[in-house]
């Protein structure tokens, strides 16, 4: 969501949730009358809002949220409460000190019945003095791993009354007498989640692209040690181990950027359908966005750290910018749906599709391979299968990834069946197969990424660009095979000699990419102001600027730091 931010490019800030959640939620869920009341003041920053969903005791599991909004027909108001300590709203950005309003998600009670989560606009602070309103206990939740500039907050509501018109009523409604009117479709709220998760996939590409830019530029500035005795110290980029760390990540950054673009396109196409009442593609997109969000954020987070450590000691300094990229990006593994939960959501869709395919249904869309595999993965002699895959041909590798995914979905489905045969409940069978389910989702997402990368190549006309991106795509596919070689061997998709071939080919691709590596990160086109990294400077003038950066350290304001007079000198006197 940081792409929205207007003050510091690329950095989180207190108004992020106002811009990325409060305003869009108004747009999507406010009635025309509510738009009139709230939108212009919010646009003008008189109303500064945030989106308060997560509570201390519940995050991803939305049904567990405890905040209540009880309708009182006598006054035509909702009464909001945080009934327990765990129900205190926790984490919303800008909630602690900045916002004067929040969209609060609460369990709606009216006429003695609970109708589940609904959204309410709750004024938090006086528009004149910014002092919290009666019944509103609000504050900052304290220091975090990253997001230093954001006042993530807590909110405890004690009999806070808001007018009936403050419930967002574009879809669901509560009438003056308390009658509840259902929304036309429960799936509508999916849309926003899908949109945000597809944004995060693109962000995974960007965060990794920035990190690769820094590490690859620095690796061609830094000289160290020796390869050949007597010769000058080589650029550290010339070490095969350095190439093996960075180039697959470079390929991954390109892959995720393409996947992010694709998901954005699909989202916009599907929202067109949705606005015409066609929800048919939504479950697939929902499942895909959940899994890909998890898949890309996990690998990108790890990749940022690999980039940081590839810069040696100086990567640890905040002058490299990599520590900040990491702490801010890694939060995406947890927010907007915890990654393991996301993977299991995708798995649910895969298993359902697998069962449909097994029952003879023809599947459409990205999971249609589960039909195909039903036919192709029948037992056959192990030795005959590997010949199918050509490790030098991307299309053939896409096929291998597909069959791996199909096989692992099957393994997970069989694990569930076996558990059920032990007479455990459906739910326990699911939980007892969760490791296999996550593994299947991972394989599915990996297949989708490889497939989309390969598809992207078809859109590229320029021969030079096509050639180097083909190398990157091949590198991406082969490195994934090497990392998961067990899966490919186990399913009989590759033979042992082919795996040695993969290793050999990978080394060749690294050497082949070496001359283009800097150009490939320059092509991401991050200006120095955006990267904010001494190591990743475009001009390569690293060391002078590192010294300059260090001299500006807050501790260097005085030659003798106050701690000397305060602690050290008295301590020396005592001993």
Site for a copy of itself in 199-238 (CB under 8 A): 223-229, 233, 238
484 binds a copy of itself (CB under 8 A): yes
Residues 6+ apart with CB under 8 A from 337: 60, 193, 197, 290, 293, 294, 345
Inter-residue contact 115 to 108 (CB < 8 Å): yes
* Number of Cα atoms under 13 Å in the Cβ half of residue 218: 30
Check if 548 is active-site: no
268 binds a copy of itself (CB under 8 A): no
436 binds a copy of itself (CB under 8 A): yes
Question: Contacts from 219-224 at CB under 8 Å and sequence distance 24+?
Answer: 219/246, 219/310, 219/311, 220/517, 220/518, 220/540, 221/535, 221/540, 221/542, 222/311, 222/312, 222/542, 224/312
Write out the two tokens for 323. 């520590």
560 binds a copy of itself (CB under 8 A): yes
* Strand partners for 78: 71, 162
* Strand partners for 223: 235
Alpha carbons 262 and 198: distance in angstroms, whole number: 9
Q: Could you tell me how many residues of this chain bind a copy of itself (CB under 8 A)? A: 119
Alpha carbons 421 and 351: distance in angstroms, whole number: 17
Looking at residues 343 to 372 of the shown chain, list those that interact with a copy of itself (rule: CB under 8 A).
Answer: 344
88 binds a copy of itself (CB under 8 A): yes
* Three-state secondary-structure class, residue 169: coil
* Nearest-approach distance from CB 306 to a copy of itself, in angstroms: 10
Write out the two tokens for 52. 């308060």
Closest to a copy of itself by CB, 527 vs 555, is 555
Inter-residue contact 83 to 123 (CB < 8 Å): no
* Nearest-approach distance from CB 326 to a copy of itself, in angstroms: 8
142 is in an annotated binding site: no
Stretch of 28-36, 256-264, 467-475, 477-485 contacting a copy of itself, by CB under 8 A: 477-485
Per CB under 8 A, the list member of 393, 431, 467, 566 interacting with a copy of itself is 431
Per-residue binding string, a copy of itself, 151-190, x by CB under 8 A, is: x--x------------------------------------
Looking at residues 107 to 126 of the shown chain, list those that interact with a copy of itself (rule: CB under 8 A).
Answer: none
Alpha carbons 10 and 523: distance in angstroms, whole number: 18
541 binds a copy of itself (CB under 8 A): no
Closest to a copy of itself by CB, 99 vs 373, is 99
Per CB under 8 A, the list member of 31, 261, 340, 356 interacting with a copy of itself is 340
Burial class (CB in 10 A: 0-12, 13-18, 19+), 277: exposed
Closest to a copy of itself by CB, 227 vs 519, is 227
Alpha carbons 10 and 324: distance in angstroms, whole number: 11
Stretch of 31-39, 145-153, 246-254, 525-533 contacting a copy of itself, by CB under 8 A: 145-153
* Nearest-approach distance from CB 484 to a copy of itself, in angstroms: 7
Per CB under 8 A, the list member of 70, 490, 501, 512 interacting with a copy of itself is 490
Per CB under 8 A, the list member of 179, 355, 390, 563 interacting with a copy of itself is 563
Please spell the DSSP secondary structure of 467-486, one letter per residue. Answer: HHHHHHHHHHHHHHHHHTHH
The annotated binding site is made up of 54, 93
The annotated binding site for FAD is made up of 54, 93
> What residues are annotated to the active site?
336
């Amino acid at each position: 969501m940081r792409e929205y931010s207007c003050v510091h490019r690329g950095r989180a800030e207190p108004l992020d949730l106002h811009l990325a959640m409060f305003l869009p939620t108004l747009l999507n869920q406010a009635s025309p009358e509510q738009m009139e009341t709230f939108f212009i003041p919010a646009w003008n920053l008189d109303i500064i809002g945030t989106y308060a969903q997560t509570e201390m005791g519940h995050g991803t599991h939305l049904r567990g949220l405890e905040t209540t909004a009880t309708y009182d027909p006598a006054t035509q108001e909702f009464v909001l409460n945080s009934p327990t300590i765990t129900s205190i709203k926790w984490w919303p950005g800008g909630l602690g000190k900045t916002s004067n309003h929040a969209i609060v998600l609460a369990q709606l009670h009216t006429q003695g019945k609970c109708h589940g989560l609904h959204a309410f606009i709750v004024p938090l602070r006086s528009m004149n003095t910014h002092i919290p309103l009666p019944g509103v206990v609000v504050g900052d939740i304290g220091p975090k791993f990253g997001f230093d500039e954001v006042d993530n907050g807590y909110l405890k509501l004690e009999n806070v009354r808001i007018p009936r018109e403050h419930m967002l009523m574009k879809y669901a409604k509560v009438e003056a007498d308390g009658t509840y009117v259902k929304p036309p479709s429960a799936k509508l709220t999916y849309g926003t989640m899908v949109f945000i998760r597809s944004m995060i996939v693109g962000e995974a590409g960007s965060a990794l692209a920035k990190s690769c830019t820094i590490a690859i530029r620095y690796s061609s500035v830094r000289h160290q040690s020796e390869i050949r005795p007597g010769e000058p110290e080589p650029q550290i980029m010339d070490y095969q181990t350095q190439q093996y760390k960075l180039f697959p990540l470079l390929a991954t950054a390109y892959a995720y950027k393409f996947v992010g673009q694709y998901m954005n396109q699909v989202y916009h196409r599907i929202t067109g359908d949705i606005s015409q009442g066609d929800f048919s593609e939504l479950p697939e997109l929902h499942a895909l966005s959940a899994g890909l969000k998890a898949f890309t954020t996990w690998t990108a987070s790890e990749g940022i750290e690999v980039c940081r450590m590839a810069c040696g000691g100086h990567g640890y300094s905040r002058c490299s910018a990599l520590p900040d990229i990491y702490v801010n990006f890694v939060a995406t593994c947890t927010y907007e749906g915890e990654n393991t939960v996301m993977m299991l959501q995708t798995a649910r869709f895969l298993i359902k599709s697998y069962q449909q395919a097994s029952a003879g249904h023809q599947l459409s869309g990205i999971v249609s391979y589960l039909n195909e595999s039903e036919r192709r993965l029948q037992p056959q002699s192990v030795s005959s299968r590997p010949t199918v895959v050509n490790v030098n041909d991307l299309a053939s590798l896409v096929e291998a990834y597909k069959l791996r995914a199909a096989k692992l979905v099957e393994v997970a489905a069989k694990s569930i069946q076996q558990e059920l045969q032990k007479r455990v409940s459906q739910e326990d069978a699911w939980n007892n197969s969760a490791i296999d389910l996550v593994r299947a989702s991972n394989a599915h997402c990996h297949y989708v990424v490889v497939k989309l990368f390969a598809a992207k190549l078809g859109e590229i006309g320029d021969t030079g660009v096509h050639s180097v991106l083909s190398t990157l795509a091949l590198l991406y596919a082969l490195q994934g095979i090497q990392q998961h070689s067990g899966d490919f061997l186990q399913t009989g998709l590759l033979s042992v000699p082919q795996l040695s071939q993969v290793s050999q080919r990978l080394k060749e691709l690294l050497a082949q990419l070496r001359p283009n590596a800097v150009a490939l990160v320059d092509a991401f086109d991050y200006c120095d102001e955006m990267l904010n990294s001494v190591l990743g400077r475009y001009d390569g003038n690293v060391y002078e600027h590192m010294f300059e950066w260090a001299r500006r350290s807050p501790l260097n304001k005085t030659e003798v730091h106050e701690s000397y007079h305060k602690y050290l000198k008295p301590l020396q006197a005592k001993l």
